[in-house]
């Protein structure tokens, strides 16, 4: 099992980058994502939320043809929508971390993220929250309680 490195987010771009990595890893080997990540980061403008939120359809089409990228057009559209939603939630809550912590529990945050963001399933959300330093249950415990939902 691959354990992502934890970070201390310095701003919204860090949250967007980690969330985007979770989106890209959905259905793709983490090794593929990791190997392409420097190029993805460059092509995605350092995950600047304002720049990503404002990407037009022609710009997304260009990115979907960029060899540095994981070329999945629907995931690229999802990341643009996620950047827009992240900006909205940051404004609503006075910070994105405040949004994450406003749900009272890991399960509450999990449900909210799945509702508010595209391509964020249980596993991707768990890894996102863990990587950005939020409270999550121990992985083995989480797997045991979520295994039934996967079948």
Residue 123: CB atoms within 10 A of its CB come to 15
**12-150 CATH fold:** Endonuclease III; domain 1 (1.10.340)
Cα separation of 69 and 30, whole Å? 14
Distances (CA, A) of 108 to 104, 116, 135: 6, 12, 12
Q: Where are the domains of the chain?
A: 12-150
Predicted confidence at residue 151, as pLDDT, reads 44
**In a 3-state reduction of DSSP, which class is residue 45?**
helix
Q: Are 105 and 61 in contact (CB under 8 A)?
A: no
Query: Which pLDDT tens digit goes with each residue over 85-119?
Result: 999 999 999 999 999 999 999 999 999 999 999 99
Inform me whether the pLDDT recorded for 30 exceeds 90.
no
Cα separation of 40 and 110, whole Å? 26
Query: Which pLDDT tens digit goes with each residue over 53-88?
Result: 999 999 999 999 999 999 999 999 999 999 999 999
Q: Are 47 and 144 in contact (CB under 8 A)?
A: no
Main-chain dihedrals φ then ψ at residue 121, nearest 5 degrees: -90, -175
Q: pTM of this prediction? A: 0.93
């Amino acid at each position: 099992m691959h354990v992502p490195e934890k970070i201390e987010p310095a701003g919204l771009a860090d949250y967007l980058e980690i969330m985007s990595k979770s989106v890209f890893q959905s259905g793709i080997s983490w090794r593929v994502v990791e190997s392409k990540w420097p190029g993805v980061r460059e092509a995605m403008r350092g995950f600047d939320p304002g720049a990503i939120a404002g990407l037009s359809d022609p710009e997304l089409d260009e990115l979907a043809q960029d060899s540095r990228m994981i070329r999945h057009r629907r995931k690229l559209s999802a990341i643009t929508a996620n950047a827009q939603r992240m900006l909205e939630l940051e404004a609503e809550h006075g910070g994105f971390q405040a949004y994450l912590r406003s749900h009272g529990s890991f399960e509450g945050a999990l449900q909210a993220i799945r509702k508010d963001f595209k391509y964020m399933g249980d596993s991707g959300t768990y890894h996102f929250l863990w990587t950005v330093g939020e409270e999550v249950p121990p992985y083995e415990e989480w797997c045991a309680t979520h295994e039934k939902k996967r079948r």
